[in-house]
Amino acid sequence: MLIEWQDGLLVGFEAIDQEHRDLVSMINQLYDQVRNGQTKETIENTLFTLADQVAAHFTHEDELMRTHGYPHRASHLLEHRKLIDQLDTLLDGIDLLTSPMLLNAIGFMDHWFTDHVVNSDARLGEYLRDHGGTKR
Question: Toward Fe ion, which CB reaches closer, 27 or 61?
Answer: 61
| Chain mean position to CA 134 | 22
| Closest residue to bound Fe ion by CB | 121
Nearest approach, Cβ of residue 103 and Fe ion (Å): 23
- 121 in contact with Fe ion (CB under 5 A): yes
Residue placing its CB nearer to Fe ion in the complex, 11 or 34: 11
Query: Given the rule CB under 5 A, which of 26-34, 43-51, 54-62, 95-103 is the region that contacts Fe ion?
Result: 54-62
Whether 11 contacts 20, CB under 8 Å: yes
Closer of 90 and 121 to Fe ion (Cβ): 121
Half-sphere exposure of 71 (CA within 13 A, CB side): 4
17 binds Fe ion (CB under 5 A): no
Binders of Fe ion among residues 65 to 94 (CB under 5 A) are none
Q: Nearest distance from residue 98's CB to Fe ion, in Å?
A: 29
Checking 108-117 for CB contacts under 8 A at 24+ apart, the result is 109/27, 109/83, 110/2, 110/3, 110/27, 112/82, 112/83, 112/86, 113/3, 113/23, 113/24, 113/27, 113/83, 114/3, 114/9, 116/79, 116/83, 117/9, 117/11, 117/20
- Nearest distance from C-beta of residue 121 to Fe ion, angstroms: 4
Q: Is 61 or 106 the residue whose CB approaches Fe ion more closely?
A: 61
Interface with Fe ion (CB under 5 A): 61, 121
